[in-house]
Chains A and B, each alone.
Chain A
Amino acid sequence: MTKTLVSAKDLRKNYGSLMAVDGISFEIQEGECFGFLGPNGAGKTTTVKMIHCVSPVTSGTLIVNGLPAHINNRALKKMTGIIPQEITLDVDLTVYENLIIFAKFFDIPKREAKKRIAELLHFVELEAKRNSKISELSTGMKRRLLVARALLNHPKLIVADEPTTGLDPQARHLIWQRLRQLKSEGVTLILTTQYMEEAQQLCDRIVVMHQGKILKEGVPSKLVAEQIGREVVEVRVPKEEDGRIVGQLAEFSSGHERVGDTLYFYCRDGQGLMRKLVELNLHNYLTRPATLEDVFLKLTGRSLIE
């Protein structure tokens, strides 16, 4: 039997007159990796900030590990590890000092902290940088140090807010591996991301957020199958031809969308659709498997969000 670790009901958050989170409900089970997906300003970060008790709840209920989330709830902060979106390392201190001081904040005894720091520097492959200044680290190293810092207190819950923003593929994969490893050790993981690949790699369940609301919830692969199908065919044709083409292809596709110069067809039978395209003498097309990105774009719209 799985236990619910986080439970939100009709959760709201206002910043003055701005409604950042608009009455959302969700449950996160112990040991799972739960992802919040959404464009900038969707309310993902605000939601996780309420979960890890640094931002007060405007209304609704939010229970974490059986306790109401509240900015003065030191017990919840003690069992949570945060990998923040921004690099909030202490630039006045060295790598080691960053960790030893942070361990103090969690009341970890010095001897235990030293042992833990050695383990963690190994875990994130930063042993060689132990006495370096923060300014001497690359972005990837800084992010890895943030991961190590978040693990000092042996957290039961890890909140990772866009943990791989600005990283090269190698560094990103290393972080993913570490997060998966933690999950296999039974840690509950809450992730916010704009990278669909990241969500597909790590998350058991996701919610797609937009303008403070949850649009969809589910298992990534099932959401793709339900919302899009198996394949996407992109056809580059002028807009004027839409009427003619869409009618001809209706029997093969489960839906279509026009964005800029491209017509997107969501389909279960890509082969059939392509044969038809050739018959219609349309050769400028591309077929590919459907991904979470298609779901995301279908739900939140393909135009720019600012």
Chain B
Amino acid sequence: MNLSYRIYYIFLRNLYSYKRFVVPTFLVSLIEPLFYLVTFGIGMGAYIGYFGGKPYLYFLVPGVLVSSVMMTSSFECLYGTFVKMIHEKLYDSLIATPVSAEDAVAGDIAWGAFRGLISGTLMMTVAMVMGVLPASVLSAVLLLALMVLVGVMFASLAMIVTSFSPSFDFFNYYTELVITPMLFFSGVFFPLDKFPPWMKTLSEFMPLTHAVKISRAVYSGTLSSGLLWSLLVIVVLEAVAFTIGIKSMKRRLIK
């Protein structure tokens, strides 16, 4: 792969363009977590009471945190990249400069991950204001690192979908058949132990399940060796998706 430091230039280009959308996207990134935390956390939490000795919000926050990273990173590399590629023909002018197609796609993946990080961080800030604090400063730092990892993974997966998507409408298959089910099968809102075995197995195949497991453990400061498996799943899937995403986008961009 022909990658170089020019990835940063694409990131920078996106930052320039982001200046114009920063207020609306910040508002969306703030309102979305508030919805989740207020409705589920407070409304439903009132019925559920305590979860492992702590209010339901403590269970909910780490899950919603990584799922908002998933959502934001995915959408950026689905709709955002598609618009730049097809409607604005931006990639066409990029690849005629010393920026390679690989640089351009990797730059957009980095950007998608960054947008995810912003969402996740805003979510964490709201949670902290509501009194749901990570176990320690180290936990908070590790959570930020996890968000980057999860962001790159979902941005790369979205890039694969974008690379063969004929139109906008095609993205519905991915968001409705992959992203949304993951939200409900990955233990974001409730523990998975009451699932029948086949559903448990299914959820093990979902990358979000592993992200939620790590997030929850890091948030509460209860790390265990079992998490290494989850981390490995994420890292391996991320490396594979990143490679395939870039290669298949390159195939679409260079004819």
Residues of A within 8 A of B93 (CB): 82, 84, 88-90, 102, 149
Given contacts A86-B89, A101-B9, A105-B9, contact A52 B16 (CB under 8 A): no
Q: B91's closest neighbor in chain A, by CB?
A: A88
Q: Is the CB of B90 within 8 A of A107?
A: no
Q: Is the CB of B9 within 8 A of A92?
A: no
B96 interface residue per 8 A CB criterion: yes
A104 interface residue per 8 A CB criterion: yes
Q: Is the CB of A55 within 8 A of B255?
A: yes
Q: Is the CB of B9 within 8 A of A84?
A: no
Residues of A within 8 A of B92 (CB): 54, 84, 86, 88
A/B pair count, beta carbons within 8 Å: 69
Min CB distance B113 to A, Å, is 19
Q: Is the CB of A55 within 8 A of B254?
A: yes
Q: Is the CB of B255 within 8 A of A77?
A: no
Q: Is the CB of A92 within 8 A of B89?
A: no
Q: B87's closest neighbor in chain A, by CB?
A: A91
Taken together as a complex, chains A and B put the C-alpha atoms of A92 and B87 apart, in Å, by 12
Q: Is the CB of A88 within 8 A of B98?
A: no
Residues of B within 8 A of A104 (CB): 9, 12-13
Min CB distance A238 to B, Å, is 48
Main secondary structure of the interface of B (DSSP, over half): loop
A78 interface residue per 8 A CB criterion: yes
Q: Is the CB of A88 within 8 A of B90?
A: yes
Residues of B within 8 A of A89 (CB): 93
Taken together as a complex, chains A and B put the C-alpha atoms of A101 and B14 apart, in Å, by 10
Q: Is the CB of B90 within 8 A of A101?
A: no
| In the complex, chain B residues 216-255 whose Cβ is within 8 Å of any chain A Cβ | 254-255
Given contacts A54-B254, A101-B9, A105-B6, contact A72 B96 (CB under 8 A): no
Residue of B6, B98, B99, B101 with most chain A CB atoms under a 10 A cut-off:
B98
Task: Add 8 more A-B contacts to A74-B100, A105-B6 (CB < 8 A).
Answer: A71-B254, A84-B96, A88-B88, A88-B89, A104-B12, A104-B13, A106-B98, A107-B98
> What is the interface of chain B, defined by CB distance below 8 A to chain A?
2, 6, 9, 12-13, 16-17, 20, 88-90, 92-101, 254-255
